[in-house]
Amino acid sequence: MIQVENVSKRFPKTQADAVQPTSFTVAAGEFITILGTSGSGKTTLMKMINRLYEPTTGTIYINGQDTRQMDVNVLRRRIGYVIQQHGLFEHWTVAQNIATVCQILKWDKAKIAQRVDETLRLVQLDPDQYRNRHPHQLSGGEQQRVGIARALAADPDILLMDEPFGAVDAVNRATLQDEIQQIQRQTHKTIIFVTHDIDEALKLGDRTMLFRSGVIQQFATQDELFLQPANDFVADFLKVHDQVTQWRYIHAGSLVQTWQAAAHTPTIDPVAADQPLAVVVEHFLKAPATSVTVVDVPHQRCGELTLADLARLAEAPSC
Ligand SMILES: Nc1ncnc2c1ncn2[C@@H]1O[C@H](COP(=O)(O)OP(=O)(O)OP(=O)(O)O)[C@@H](O)[C@H]1O
Ligand SMILES: [Mg+2]
What pLDDT, on a 0 to 100 scale, did the predictor assign at position 261? Answer: 45
Mean per-residue pLDDT for 279-288?
A: 80
What pLDDT, on a 0 to 100 scale, did the predictor assign at position 229? Answer: 93
Q: Residues 138, 139, 141, CA angle at the centre, nearest 5°? A: 120
Q: Which atom of ligand 1 is nearest to the CA of 13?
A: 4
Q: Do both 64 and 207 map to the same domain?
A: yes
pLDDT, greater one: 73 or 48: 48
What one-character DSSP code corresponds to residue 251? B
Q: How far is the CA of 59 from the centre of ligand 1 (A)?
A: 20
Q: Do both 247 and 229 map to the same domain?
A: no
Lowest mean pLDDT among 127-136, 139-148, 265-274: 265-274
Q: Is the dihedral of CA 226, 193, 61, 187 positive or negative?
A: positive
Mean per-residue pLDDT for 249-256?
A: 84
pLDDT, greater one: 284 or 44: 44
Query: Among 197, 214, 238, which residue terminates a domain?
Result: 238
What pLDDT, on a 0 to 100 scale, did the predictor assign at position 87? Answer: 81
Mean per-residue pLDDT for 135-146?
A: 90
Q: Do both 234 and 248 map to the same domain?
A: no
Residues 6+ apart with CB under 8 A from 256: 273, 294, 302, 303, 304, 305
Q: Do both 54 and 183 map to the same domain?
A: yes
Mean per-residue pLDDT for 44-73?
A: 95
Q: Kindly give the residue spans of alpha helices, DSSP state H, lying in the chain.
A: 42-49, 72-77, 94-98, 100-104, 109-122, 127-130, 140-152, 170-187, 198-204, 222-227, 232-238, 243-249, 252-259, 277-286, 307-315
Q: Do both 109 and 50 map to the same domain?
A: yes
Q: Do both 139 and 223 map to the same domain?
A: yes
Residues 6+ apart with CB under 8 A from 311: none
Q: Do both 166 and 250 map to the same domain?
A: no
By C-alpha distance, which of 121, 163, 169 is closest to 145? 121
pLDDT in tens, 86-109: 688 999 999 999 998 888 888 999
Q: Is the dihedral of CA 250, 253, 254, 256 positive or negative?
A: positive
Edge-to-edge strands, sheet with 271-272: 271-272, 291-296, 300-306
What pLDDT, on a 0 to 100 scale, did the predictor assign at position 34? Answer: 97
Q: Do both 93 and 155 map to the same domain?
A: yes
Q: Residues 17, 65, 62, CA angle at the centre, nearest 5°? A: 65
Percentage of residues of the chain with pLDDT beyond 90: 58
Any idea what the CATH number is for the domain that residue 78 is in? Answer: 3.40.50.300
Q: How far is the CA of 37 from the centre of ligand 1 (A)?
A: 11
Lowest mean pLDDT among 6-20, 219-233, 246-260: 246-260
Any idea what the CATH number is for the domain that residue 254 is in? Answer: 3.10.580.10
Lowest mean pLDDT among 93-107, 144-158, 181-195, 265-279: 265-279
pLDDT, greater one: 296 or 195: 195
Q: Are strands 271-272 and 65-66 parallel, antiparallel or unpaired?
A: unpaired
Mean per-residue pLDDT for 14-19?
A: 94
Query: Among 206, 238, 270, which residue terminates a domain?
Result: 238
Mean per-residue pLDDT for 2-9?
A: 97
What pLDDT, on a 0 to 100 scale, did the predictor assign at position 311? Answer: 81
Q: Do both 179 and 80 map to the same domain?
A: yes
> How many residues does this entry show for the chain?
319
pLDDT, greater one: 48 or 275: 48
Does 291 score more than 70 pLDDT? yes
Q: Do both 216 and 123 map to the same domain?
A: yes
Q: Cα separation of 22 and 135, whole Å?
A: 38
Does 85 score more than 80 pLDDT? no
Phi, psi angles (nearest 5°) of residue 70: -95, 150
Asked if residue 41 lies in contact with residue 8, where contact means CB atoms within 8 angstroms, the answer is no
3-class secondary-structure state, position 273: coil
> Which residues form the domain of 74?
2-238
pLDDT bucket at 35, cuts 50 / 70 / 90: very high
Q: Cα separation of 120 and 42, whole Å?
A: 29
Mean per-residue pLDDT for 23-37?
A: 96
Q: Residues 212, 213, 214, CA angle at the centre, nearest 5°? A: 90
Q: Do both 282 and 302 map to the same domain?
A: yes
Q: How far is the CA of 203 from the centre of ligand 2 (A)?
A: 20
What pLDDT, on a 0 to 100 scale, did the predictor assign at position 173? Answer: 86
Ligand nearest to the CA of 211: 1
Q: Name which residue sits closest to atom 5 of ligand 1, judged by CA.
A: 11
Q: Do both 218 and 249 map to the same domain?
A: no
Mean pLDDT of the chain, nearest integer: 89
Pocket of ligand 1 (CB under 6 A): 11, 14, 18, 36, 38-44
Q: How far is the CA of 39 from the centre of ligand 2 (A)?
A: 7
pLDDT bucket at 316, cuts 50 / 70 / 90: low
Q: Cα separation of 186 and 98, whole Å?
A: 19
Ligand nearest to the CA of 13: 1
pLDDT bucket at 268, cuts 50 / 70 / 90: low
Query: Among 184, 207, 238, which residue terminates a domain?
Result: 238
What pLDDT, on a 0 to 100 scale, did the predictor assign at position 215? Answer: 96
What pLDDT, on a 0 to 100 scale, did the predictor assign at position 239? Answer: 92
Percentage of residues of the chain with pLDDT beyond 70: 94
What pLDDT, on a 0 to 100 scale, did the predictor assign at position 41? Answer: 95
Structural domains of the chain, count: 2
